[in-house]
Amino acid sequence: MRSTTSLVQIIGRAARNPDSEVVLYGDNITESMIKALRETYRRRSVQMSYNKKHRIDPKKAISNVKAIEAVKTDDVLVQDFHSLTRGKNKKLKRLTKAEKGIILQELRKEMEAAIASREFEKAAVVRDQIREMEKE
């Protein structure tokens, strides 16, 4: 069971995306569900009248952070872990857990340093490398 406040918050979070839907389900309709729906409809009517008055057409927000893959054109930022070798024939995929742990620790330090120096594109590339290593 959820309180009215938490239901309103959940519905409000979903309402940030114009294509979203919220489905409230349970064995029976609770008082908190009814109150949350009333509050949601009240807030929606206030927002719609404000939008109409100020001629605002709500649109879905577009984030540049998710499109960071396109920034990887700089040769310094692009690294391929599959081509890394240790010695003459030990590839990254064949590293022990301890060796991978050391490399992951160093990559995390590198990512934190990039974040501290506000090089977010580099940090995103390192983050992707960490995720790739953790999958293997």
- List the beta strands (DSSP E) in the chain: 85-86, 90-91
Tens digit of pLDDT for each residue in 11-34?
988 887 777 888 888 888 889 999
Whether the per-residue pLDDT at 69 is higher than 60: the answer is no
SS3 23: coil
This model's pTM is above 0.75: no
Alpha-carbon span 96 to 84, nearest angstrom: 14
Output DSSP code: residue 25: -
Give residue limits of the domains in the chain: 4-53, 65-135
Count of alpha carbons within 13 angstroms of residue 98, beta-carbon side: 0
Distance of CA 6 to the CA centre of its chain: 22
pLDDT digits (tens, 9 = 90+) for 117-136: 888 888 888 898 888 888 77
84-107 pLDDT, tens digit per residue, is 444 444 455 566 777 788 888 888
